[in-house]
């Protein structure tokens, strides 16, 4: 594979990628994928729903901090 880029090799392929801890949670009756940050913060990564109206709810926007 040939990769033509002005970026450094280490910028494209970092040596040790940081593992991201994720889990699924039911929040207000909706299935969500949440990310657990290193400082203990839980953030909404993705809403998993078949109802299009769920995506308009501002409480379920990506990167929202959860309690």
Judge whether 62 lies within some domain: yes
pLDDT digits (tens, 9 = 90+) for 2-59: 788 899 888 888 887 678 899 999 999 999 999 998 888 999 999 999 999 999 999 9
Judge whether 6 lies within some domain: no
Question: 0.75 cut: is pTM over it?
Answer: no
Per-residue DSSP letters for the chain? -----SS-HHHHS-SSPPP-EEEEEEETTEEEEEEE-TTS-EEEEEEE-S-GGGGG-GGGSTT-EE-
Judge whether 33 lies within some domain: yes
- CA pair distance 3, 58, nearest whole angstrom: 40
Quick one: pLDDT band at residue 60, thresholds 50, 70, 90? very high
- The pLDDT of residue 48 is 95
pLDDT digits (tens, 9 = 90+) for 37-48: 888 899 999 999
Domain that holds residue 29: 19-66
């Amino acid at each position: 594979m040939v990769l033509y880029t002005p970026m450094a090799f280490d910028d494209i392929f970092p040596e040790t990628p940081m593992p991201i801890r994720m889990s699924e949670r039911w929040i207000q009756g909706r299935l969500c994928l949440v990310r657990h940050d290193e400082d203990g913060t839980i953030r909404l990564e993705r809403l998993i729903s078949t109802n299009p109206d769920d995506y308009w709810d501002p409480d379920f926007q990506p990167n929202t901090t959860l309690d």
